[in-house]
Amino acid sequence: RRGAVCRQFPGLVPHAVAVGDGPSLADHYRLVRRHVSAKWAGYALARRVVDAPLRLRDDVAAFRTTAGEDPLPRAPVGALNRDLAAARIPEHPTVSVILPTYGRYKYVAEVLDDLRAQTVRPTQILIADGNPPEERQPGLYERYRDLPIEVLWHEEPGICSGRNACLQRVTGDHVWFVDDDSRFDPDNLEQHLRALAAYGADVSVGPATMKGRPELAVDQREVVCSFMDCGTTVVRRALLDEIGGFDMQFNAHLMGEDNDLGIRFIRAGGLMVNNPFAKRFHYLAPVGGSRSKGSIHVFRRWSLRPRPVQSIYYLARRHFERSVVWDAMLQGSITVGWRRRDAMPPSRAWKARTLAEEILALPLTAVRYARSARIGARMLAQGPKIPALASASADQRGRMMPK
- Closest to 173 in 3D by CA, of 104, 241, 222: 241
C-beta separation of 256 from 160 below 8 A: no
**Sequential pLDDT tens for the chain (403 residues):** 334 445 555 566 666 666 566 788 899 888 888 777 787 888 888 888 888 887 889 999 999 988 877 666 565 656 666 777 788 888 899 999 999 999 889 999 999 999 999 999 999 999 999 999 999 999 999 999 999 999 999 888 789 999 999 999 999 999 999 999 899 999 999 999 999 999 999 999 999 887 766 665 555 557 888 889 999 999 999 999 999 999 999 988 768 899 999 999 999 999 999 888 899 998 876 565 554 554 444 556 667 676 667 888 899 889 988 877 777 777 665 554 455 455 556 677 877 887 788 788 888 888 888 888 898 899 999 999 999 988 766 666 555 544 4
pLDDT value of residue 3: 43
Q: Residue 122: which residues within 8 A CB-CB, separation 6 or more?
A: 95, 96, 97, 115, 148, 172, 176, 189
Residue 23, helix vs strand vs coil: coil
C-beta separation of 179 from 232 below 8 A: yes
- CA 262, distance to chain mean position in Å, is 7
Distance (Å, whole) CA 375 – CA 335 = 22
- Closest to 179 in 3D by CA, of 257, 253, 268: 257
pLDDT value of residue 163: 95
pLDDT value of residue 203: 96
Phi-psi region of 22 (alpha: psi -120 to 50; beta: other; left: phi over 0): left
Q: Please name the helix (run of DSSP H) or strand (run of DSSP E) that holds residue 236, with its range, or none.
A: strand 232-236
Distances (CA, A) of 121 to 112, 214, 248, 375: 12, 30, 30, 43
C-beta separation of 162 from 130 below 8 A: yes
Q: Which residues pair with 127 in a beta bridge?
A: 99, 151
Residue 101, helix vs strand vs coil: strand
CATH 3.90.550.10 maps onto the chain at 77-289
Q: What are phi and psi of 151, to 5 degrees?
A: -100, 130
Distance (Å, whole) CA 189 – CA 174 = 10
Distance (Å, whole) CA 246 – CA 167 = 9
Distance (Å, whole) CA 331 – CA 359 = 13
**End-to-end Cα, the chain, rounded Å:** 33
C-beta separation of 221 from 74 below 8 A: yes
C-beta separation of 330 from 390 below 8 A: no
Residue 264, helix vs strand vs coil: helix
Distance (Å, whole) CA 65 – CA 113 = 51
Phi-psi region of 197 (alpha: psi -120 to 50; beta: other; left: phi over 0): alpha
- CA 91, distance to chain mean position in Å, is 30
C-beta separation of 167 from 240 below 8 A: yes
C-beta separation of 211 from 260 below 8 A: no
Count of Cβ atoms closer than 10 Å to residue 243 Cβ: 20
Distance (Å, whole) CA 180 – CA 273 = 23
Distance (Å, whole) CA 282 – CA 66 = 34
Residue 148, helix vs strand vs coil: coil
pLDDT value of residue 403: 44
pLDDT value of residue 192: 96
As a CATH number, domain 77-289 is 3.90.550.10
Distance (Å, whole) CA 397 – CA 391 = 10
